[in-house]
Amino acid sequence: MSLERSIAIDGPAGSGKSTVARMLAGALGYRYVSTGDLYRALALEVLRQGADPCDEESVVGIAQSMSVSVEPAPGGGQRTIVGGEDVTALIRSAQVDSIVSAVSVYPAVRTRMVVLQRAIARDADVVMDGRDIGAVVLAESRCKFYLTASPEERAARRQRDYAAQGRQVGLDEVYEEIAHRDMIDSTRRVSPLAVAPGAVVIDCTAMSPTEVVAAMMQVVGGADACSTQLRKGS
């Protein structure tokens, strides 16, 4: 187990990175880790404590004091635990969605979460998805991917996700939500959303998750072969 062996997948909202990351982890026998759930857990705690998401000091204080962890779940998913409580379903609410970007921008918050995420990757080989994985969390990773799709396709996918959760949201509203999230993620002071150095960019607008995973497996296989040759030569 090492940070180098773990796989980083970054991408904007609605790019399909979580679905693909779960499938890739299953194919490789790795643990799947969604870093976004840690930030969602923080957003939930901010809501519960009645704090202002725009009050950096309050949000940072909550982030540094809260007990949060993620655990493997049956079927290759992930459970999110806050203070011993399983909040996996609660962090998918519309209220959490509305503030998760705001509470994720603060440098001290991201520092706290990166420490947690790197600790997970040291304990197990992981496929980890997020927005700063290849550039920051798993900068040492030998396999980095940046998954993207057209804004229209991403909005349609996110709308289907909402429908599966029982939330009926208009496509125009979802499109605007994604555009706003992109703006916040790409312009924040620390670890903005960007293609990490050495990352393989995959535009999956017209690709199925199975096709994306197949393309990734080819890259992973090539990296494995290269790593083996380097060890033999050392």
pLDDT tens per residue across span 111-151: 999 999 999 999 999 999 999 999 999 999 989 999 999 99
- Structural domain containing residue 213: 7-233
Question: For residue 1, is it within any domain?
Answer: no
What are 35-68's pLDDT values in tens digits? 999 999 999 999 999 999 999 999 999 999 999 9
User: Residue 220: its pLDDT value, please?
Assistant: 93
Mean pLDDT score of the chain, rounded to an integer? 92
Tell me how far the alpha carbon of residue 137 is from its chain's centroid: 11
What are 16-37's pLDDT values in tens digits? 999 999 999 999 999 999 999 9
* Beta strands at 85-86 and 200-203: parallel, antiparallel or unpaired: unpaired
User: Residue 221: its pLDDT value, please?
Assistant: 87
Overall pTM surpassing 0.85 (yes/no):
yes
Is pLDDT at 232 greater than 80 in this prediction? no
User: Residue 189: its pLDDT value, please?
Assistant: 86
- Give the chain's end-to-end CA distance (angstroms, integer): 20
Is pLDDT at 85 greater than 90 in this prediction? yes
User: Residue 2: its pLDDT value, please?
Assistant: 65
Number of separate domains in the chain: 1
Is pLDDT at 225 greater than 80 in this prediction? no
User: Residue 153: its pLDDT value, please?
Assistant: 97
Structure tokens at 220: 């992973």
How many Å apart are CA 230 and CA 56, to the nearest integer?
A: 46
What are 183-219's pLDDT values in tens digits? 988 998 888 999 999 999 999 999 999 999 999 999 9
**CATH number, domain with residue 215:** 3.40.50.300
Question: For residue 2, is it within any domain?
Answer: no
Question: For residue 54, is it within any domain?
Answer: yes
Q: 138 near 4, Cβ under 8 Å?
A: no
